[in-house]
């Protein structure tokens, strides 16, 4: 098998970290991970601390990577929950700096995979056509996904390399300081509620409690990304990718409460940003009491993502027909995914054991 070398941009986020873990687990890849801080994973990979917003720093830091064959771009600005015009420029710059640094020097470059999401369909703006398909019309911009896609389409013309893009929703897995991590939002919200002697109340709107929703396991996403990047007929394509099932919080919430050994309380629509703002001292007490890893409250969870998830009162559903037709058939049970990830976090001393 020809040598394959992966460059992962954004290697400490929930996407990049779990992709790095997957490539280390399967072997057969040389890996360079790009991020400001070193990923909390052991293994044979090179880490480069680099500011991807700085083009000159990218050229200086990455100039020796002439043997990269696959670029996995999972970097995003920390405030990318929004799609403001200023973020369009920032996120396009991140991608351009990586591509325009690597393309001229990586003679054997084969593929660039870059991450998108369901906000391509306007899921952040209000009700949208569901199940969403990859060829659905765009919504009114701004949307940095559109700018990144158009840039890649134009950049690839006449080149020997190709590209692909994944469009997941509600990525779930472990990563510190990641804004789009539903698993951590739920775990920390439940843990603090329990510490305060409260039942576990769904914090969203009535419509949100009953709407159809979908999630994407970070391990499943990592496997799909590698499949897209190494399957020839996936060239220059975008794919919706989710676990393959659907949930309603009204059905899952009592099971989540039982998993944390809690009572499920009445649904209450609250702002997690406002309600959880003063709970840092509670979290510090929990960490000391249970001997958890000393991860700062501001780094372990970002509550704006919780409000983003639990406010909309409409279905969020993507069509997976294209993904299946092209040959990717993996499925993850979302209920079991949550329980597995939280058990993993307990073993890693991220959250307390159930008691």
Handedness of CA 53, 113, 247, 127 (dihedral sign): positive
Contact 310, 213 (CB under 8 A): no
Q: How far is CA 27 from CA 5, 37, 95, 122, in A?
A: 11, 23, 27, 37
Task: Give yes or no: 331 in active site.
Answer: no
Closest-CA residue to 332 (of 170, 95, 163): 170
Q: Which listed residue (5, 21, 119, 194) is catalytic?
A: 119
Closest-CA residue to 12 (of 40, 31, 44): 40
Structure tokens at 272: 């997690």
Structure tokens at 304: 């704006």
Task: Give yes or no: 145 in active site.
Answer: yes
Q: Which listed residue (145, 163, 189, 297) is catalytic?
A: 145
Quick one: 42 exposed, middle or buried, by C-beta within 10 A (0-12, 13-18, 19+)?
A: exposed
Handedness of CA 169, 175, 180, 185 (dihedral sign): positive
- DSSP 8-state assignment for residue 213: B
Residues with catalytic annotation? Answer: 119, 145
């Amino acid at each position: 098998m020809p040598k394959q070398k992966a460059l992962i941009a954004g290697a400490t986020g929930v996407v990049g970290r779990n992709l790095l873990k997957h490539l280390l687990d399967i072997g057969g890849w040389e890996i360079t991970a790009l991020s400001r801080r070193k990923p909390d994973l052991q293994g044979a990979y090179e880490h480069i601390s680099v500011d991807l917003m700085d083009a000159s720093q990218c050229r200086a830091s990455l100039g020796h990577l002439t043997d990269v064959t696959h670029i996995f771009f999972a970097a995003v600005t920390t405030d990318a929950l929004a799609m403001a015009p200023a973020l369009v420029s920032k996120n396009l710059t991140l991608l351009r700096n990586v591509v325009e640094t690597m393309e001229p020097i990586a003679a054997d470059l084969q593929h660039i995979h870059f991450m998108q999401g369901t906000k391509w369909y306007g899921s952040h703006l209000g009700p949208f056509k569901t199940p969403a398909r990859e060829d659905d019309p765009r919504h009114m911009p701004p949307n940095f996904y559109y700018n990144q896609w158009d840039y890649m389409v134009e950049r690839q013309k006449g080149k020997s390399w190709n590209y692909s893009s994944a469009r997941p929703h509600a990525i779930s897995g472990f990563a510190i300081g990641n804004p789009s991590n539903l698993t951590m939002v739920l775990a920390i919200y439940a843990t603090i509620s329990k510490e305060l002697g409260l039942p576990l109340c769904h914090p969203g709107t009535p419509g949100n409690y009953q709407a159809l929703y979908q999630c994407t396991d970070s391990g499943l996403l990592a496997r799909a990304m590698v499949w897209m990047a190494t399957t020839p007929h996936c060239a220059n394509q975008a794919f919706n990718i989710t676990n393959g099932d659907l949930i309603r919080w009204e059905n899952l919430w009592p099971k989540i409460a039982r998993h944390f050994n809690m009572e499920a309380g009445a649904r209450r629509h609250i702002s997690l940003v406002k309600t959880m703002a003063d709970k840092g001292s509670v979290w510090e007490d929990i960490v000391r009491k249970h001997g958890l890893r000393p991860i700062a409250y501001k780094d372990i969870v970002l509550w704006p993502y919780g409000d983003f998830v639990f406010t909309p009162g409409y279905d969020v559903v993507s069509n997976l027909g294209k993904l299946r037709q092209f040959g990717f058939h993996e499925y993850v049970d979302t209920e079991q995914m949550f329980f597995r990830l939280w058990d993993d976090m307990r073993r890693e001393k991220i959250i307390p054991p159930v008691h």
